[in-house]
Each structure stands twice: as structure tokens, then as C-alpha cells.
Amino acid sequence: MILIAILMFAYANQDFLEFAETYQNQGYTWEYVGKTPAEPGYPHLEVLDSENNPVYYYQLFSPKTKTK
């Protein structure tokens, strides 16, 4: 059952996963940015908050823009 859920998630988000893999191969990393309103056209995996607003919590950062 879990395998089916994972496969369904991967299929439904294939474009996003390919996008993320491409950028991770270029040195980009995922960093926690806190609850951020989702923007149309920006690649992300959004979730709905308690008020049904689309938000995301992690963002890809290039090696040059890392603040740590």
C-alpha cells in the first residue's frame, strides 16, 4: 500500500521532481524558509494551511546565495 502511494506521488509530481533533480545536480540545496505563500509559476510542492491557502516550507538555493 505504501509503495502504491509513493508511486502515485512520483507520477503526479514528475515535472517538479525532474526540475529539482536538475538543480540539485548543479549544486542547489533545499533550505527551510518557514511558512511562505505559494506563488503561481514558481516550482514548489505546495500544501494547504489551516485556512486552505497554498504555502510551501522549503526552497532551492544556489550555492552562491547561501547565507550560512
Distance in angstroms (rounded) separating the CA atoms of residues 36 and 50? 13
What's the mean pLDDT in 49-55?
94
Task: Look up the pTM and report it.
Answer: 0.63
Cβ–Cβ under 8 Å, residues 33 and 58? yes
**Which runs of E-coded beta strand occur in 1-68?**
29-37, 47-48, 54-61
Q: 13: how many CB neighbours lie within 10 A of its CB?
A: 13
Q: Is the pLDDT of residue 65 over 70?
A: no
User: What is the overall mean pLDDT for the chain?
Assistant: 85
Coil, strand or helix at 17: helix
Q: Tell me what pLDDT residue 53 has.
A: 94
In sequence order, what are the beta bridge partners of 59? 31
